Every structure is written in C-alpha cells, then in structure tokens.
Amino acid sequence: MKTPDQSPRYGAEHFLNRELSLLAFNRRVLAQAADETVPLLERLRFLCIVSSNLDEFFEIRVAGLKEQIKLAVRAVGPDGFTPREVFRRVVKDAHVLIAEQYRLLNDVILPALAHEGISFLRRSTWTPEQAAWIRDYFFREVMPVLTPIGLDPSHPFPRVLNKSLNFAVELEGTDAFGRNSGAAIVQAPRALPRVILLPSELTGVDYGHVFLSSILHQHVDELFTGMSVLGCYQFRVTRNSDLFVDDEEVKNLRTALQGELPQRHFGDAVRLEVADNCSQVMTDFLMTQFELARDDLYRAPGIVNLVRLNSVPDSVDRPDLKYSSYEPGLPTALTKRFDIFAAIRKQDILLHHPFQSFDPVIQLLTQAADDPSVVAIRMTVYRTGTKSVLMEQLLRAAQKGKEVTVIIELMARFDEEANLSIAAKLEEVGAHVVYGVVGYKTHAKMLMVLRREDGVFRHYVHLGTGNYHPRTTRFYTDFGLLTCRPEIGADVAEVFKQLTGLGKAGELKHIWQAPFALHRRVVHAIRLETAAAQAGRKGRIIAKMNSLLEPEIISALYEASCAGVKIDLIVRGVCALRPGVAGVSENIKVRSIVGRFLEHHRIFYFLADGEENIYLSSADWMERNFFRRIEIAFPILDPRAKRRVLKEGLRAYLADNTQAWEMDHNGQYHLKNGNRKVCAQDMLLKDMRAPD
C-alpha cells in the first residue's frame, strides 16, 4: 500500500497552515452573521455555529497541538511551522475571532432582536413582577437539582465536565460547621435549559428570555445560607476529546471504545472561558486547577457558551426572520413511478440534496425490506442519528429474514455512542454487524440491495457523498447516485467483501478506492491533464471538496498549473494550496462557498481530452482520506447525470458572486461581489424545489 510523500516538491512558502486555515473558514462563517441580507434569526444561528466549530477546534486541533508541544515534537509540516509556532499563531487569531464574535452579538444582533420583540432580559432591568416569577422558577425548577460544592480539604475541586456551565463563587464567613474555605463551585446540570422564556404578559414582548446564568447569579446566595457572596462568575472548560484506541493492542474495538468513551468528558483541559467580570484571584485559581496558562484563557463579555443560543431560532415562531421554507423536489424519473427498482432499471438516478428529496433512498430500503425477491442488503454507516428511519428499515428487513450486513464505523467522531447503540439493536434482530477495519475509518457511503430477477442476482446500489442521515440531507449539499449498472455493482460488492472478510484487495474496474488506489488515481488524472497541456492540447480540472491538504496532490496541481492547465478549486473549509503565485499557481483559482447550506459534496472533474471524466466521492483531498480511511470515488457514467453534476455541482458554484470567497496569493479570502447577483444555492433551490 502506498504511503504519503512526506517531502513535498515545493517549499514551505507554497503551503498554508491547516489550523490557521480552519480559523479563516470560521471568519467566513461569522461574516454570515454580520451580513444584513441574511435573516436575523439565521444570523444568530451562524453565530452559534462559529462557537460550535470553535469548540471542536479546541477539543481536537488545539488539543493535538498541545500534546505535540508537551512531547517536545519539533517536526514541521509542509508549511514549515513547528507545533509551538502554530499554537502561538492560533492563540492570536482565535482571540481576535472570539472578540469580534462577542462584539457582533452584543452590539448588533441582540439589539436587532430586541427591536423585533425578541429580548434577553438583564438582571438590572427586571421589574418586580419579572423578578418574582424568576425567583419562583429558581426555587421550583433550579435549586432542587443544584449541588454546591464548598472547597475545603474534604471537598477538593470537583471534576468539571467538558464544556459544561459552571459558577465559581467567592465567599466570606463561616458555615454551620465553622468552615471558611472562601470559595465554592456550582455546576449547572445539563438537564436545565440555558435560555428560559418568560410569559409575554410579564415582558411586554412576544419573546422575552432570561439566561439560566442570570437566574443563578441573582439567587446564588440562597445556596450559602448565612455567608456573604463576594462574587459569582461563569466559567467553562474545554477538554481534549480525541479518543485514543491503540490499534496494536485492541482485541475488540467495541469493548475498547465503550471503555474509552466515558473519559472523553474528563480529558486534559485545553481552554478556559470565564466571564469578563471574573476577579483575577479567581481566574488564577481556576487556571491553576486546570493546569492552564495565560494563552489558554478567554474572557467572555457575556454568556460563556454562545452555543446555548442555538435553541432560540427554533423556538421563536417568526418565519419572517428565518430562511423561507422549501419542499425538496424529486427527479423526473421518480415523479410517476412507485416501483423504485423499475425506475433504477430504466436509468441511473442522480439525487442532489437538499434541493432534491432523500426519500428515494428511504424508499429503496423500505421496498427492499418488503420485497420477497430481495435476498440481501449491505450498507455502511458513518453518521445516521439515533432515531433514523433508515435504521428502522434495516431492522425490519432483518426481522423479515433478509440477509442484512451493516458496516458501522464506531470511530465516527462524536457519534461513537449513537453508533454503538445502533449496532446493538441490529445485532438483536440477527443482522450481521461489522466494525470495519481497525486503523482505517470506514467513511465510504454505500448501500447495496441484492435482488433475484429471472433466476439471476442484480445489484441495486446507492452511492453518496454524504452520510445516511435524513436530517442533515436537509442542510448539507450532497449528491447520491442510484444505479443497477453491473460494472458498478460488481465493484461495490468487492468493497463490501473486503470489509466483511479477509483477503487481498481486488482491482476495481470503475471505482477508485482508498487506501489502495484513490490517491494514485487522482494524481494520475492530474498528470494526464498536465501531459495534455504540455502537448499543446487543452487541460482542465475542476474539483469541489471540503478540505485540500495532501502535499503530493497540491504539488501535482502546481505542476499542472505550470504546464498551463486551467484549474478551479471550490474548497469550503481548509485549503493549504496557495493560488495565483507567479511561476507556480498562476492558473489556479480557489474559492469557498459559505451560505444557507453546508457545502459538502466532493466532485472531481477532468477534461480527459474531451471525455469529461466526473467522479463523486466521500473523500476530501487529505492525507487521512487517502491513506487512513476506506473511501470511494465513483464515476458518473450516464451522460444526462454527468451534465447535471457539471451544471449543478460545479458551474453554478463557479458563477456564484454573492456567497463565494476567493483566495488571493497571500492566502487571504475576499468576498466576491458582482454587479449581477448570482447565488448558487438560491438558484438550485428555485430550479429543483417541489411544485406547489
């Protein structure tokens, strides 16, 4: 098996840093919150998305940097930075980003919401009637579930859960036992809502809210009878949440993971957030308890967890302040056919989510479960949700005697617990559950139905760029292909055989598979375009993905650019390639689309001397996807489907001049602004929504 080239042919100045690029992406998301053309409650949602993204950034990326620094790792990446240098730059950029986030919240979004009758009441503004209602709420709903912990020799500093809301309380006086520790910790149970809606008759507006933190601040003295509260401060700690399972030692991945999951909440601290009014004495005390330094401290001019505001857009019934609703359409091939198998036999069916419905995939599984001609169903699961209609159909199929085999990726980050639960339920009804290959995440999205027709078996296949998660198909852009082409079915069957059995990997005829061939095939396709340009023919590459990091791929793209190949890259998030550099990447353009939907599909287009080879994939162009994951890239063979992918998935986004950010040769992004407004997502919504 090929290993990645650790020595890129271009110097460090031609590669951008992954962590800094990820922060740059979150600046583009924050720009959506600042955009006055975006509906107000959606702007609040984008603000929350930034906080959620930053949580994961600290839990995984910053945690990894700190581990490398602790181990005195001095090795540099393609960008030439040591872990310590990256950390120093990350700290600077993260502080600036978070400060801008709070400025936008406090100075722009909250006042705009208040103008619309959606307010968040400060303690200083409570009327006597509001204060009485809140006091009753505290004694009825909050105080019974609180456990204040005074800090003394018999009550050491408590184990604080990752990302939980806590309060550090400074006290004066002695308690009933004569103790005087001077400090206590109050942990807010996760069962308590962080934002509470007051009756409209008390607030004079339709949506008057109060934060749980405000309620606790106001009544914290009730928890320490007879003592004086000198200060009460919110704080929140973010911990290393990357699970460690030793591939060399593990005997049973499921058992090992079940043992590791509970520790996620108590990993090493990597960030401390405190309210900006927290005293220096208490701040220093908390940093000592969590073994953190000044660089790890973030003072919040407001609530310390903006993610908790994410419940507000969903609970407020103001359609005028949200994106307009839409009903996804169906491909023409399915509008009049109720037999999904007959429809797929007639032609390949391309699904473009969220503009088109995910229902045909559910329909395929539903009909397969009921069809006596269906013998077996095989499926990969990376993320699907705890209450998934797809899983219900798989359970039903197994109960009806179908041979159901599910490859569940237990190491899907932050979905491990849900996937363990799904695995247990499937095993209970007799389904075969396989946990992939230890050391390689199964990230490919494949569903295969084996049906007996006229005495022979036919493979009905769904391949996708996104997860089998019906909810995210409403918010993520992805392609899915339904086909029964024998050549594709044979390749998919071979991949499933690798995942469930043992033996050498067979050569696939059409599908490019990681970790065996995907990297080699992509590099080869790029070099064919390079050779065409060098020979005086036209070379053209268009690729859309979430992340572009792998050094050898980037080097191959640079060489193609030098040969004259025109290259357009649509990279939503992290991109280490630097476009527009004289003599290196003059023919490469990089853009990022950030809008209503999360851009998620991966599309690879190569002109191939007019053949126009188009592949859809589950894989980004990253080292992990090429060498440490089981991924596939599958060709679009049907001419009509090929034209659709080119039009809807690539050209529409290259024409976008309202939500597109273009990267310059310095790695900085600039919002594209054309005279004639073109928004790819809006255009696709309009073209493919269901008829009224």
Q: Give the sign of the dihedral formed by CA 436, CA 437, CA 438, CA 444.
A: negative
- The set of residues, in sequence order, having a beta carbon less than 8 Å from that of 107 and lying 6+ positions away, is none
- Beta carbons of 476 and 390 less than 8 angstroms apart: no
Give the residue among 483, 449, 479 at the shortest CA–CA distance from 467. Answer: 479
Q: Which amino acid appears at position 264 of this protein?
A: R
CA 387, CA 480: separation in Å to the nearest integer? 21
Residue 467, token pair as written in the block: 């997860």
Which residues, including other chains, have CB under 8 Å from residue 27's CB and lie 6 or more apart? 97, 669
Q: Is 443 a catalytic residue?
A: yes
Of the residues 209, 443, 459, 469, which is catalytic?
A: 443
Gap between the Cα atoms of 556 and 209, Å rounded = 55
Is the bond into 148 cis (omega within 30 degrees of 0)?
A: no
Backbone angles phi and psi of 463, in degrees to 5: -125, 140
- In our burial notation (b when 16+ CB lie closer than 10 A, e otherwise), range 294-320 reads eebbbbbebbbbbbbbbebbeebebee
- How many whole angstroms separate alpha carbon 287 and alpha carbon 107? 29
**Residues 638, 614: contact at Cβ < 8 Å?**
no
In this structure, what token pair is assigned to residue 589?
């353009």
Among residues 388, 422, 385, 418, the alpha carbon closest in space to that of 407 is found at: 422
Chain centre to alpha carbon of residue 9: 31
Contact 564, 587 (CB under 8 A): yes
Q: What H or E segment, with its residue span, contains residue 345? A: helix 340-346
- As annotated, the active-site residues are 443
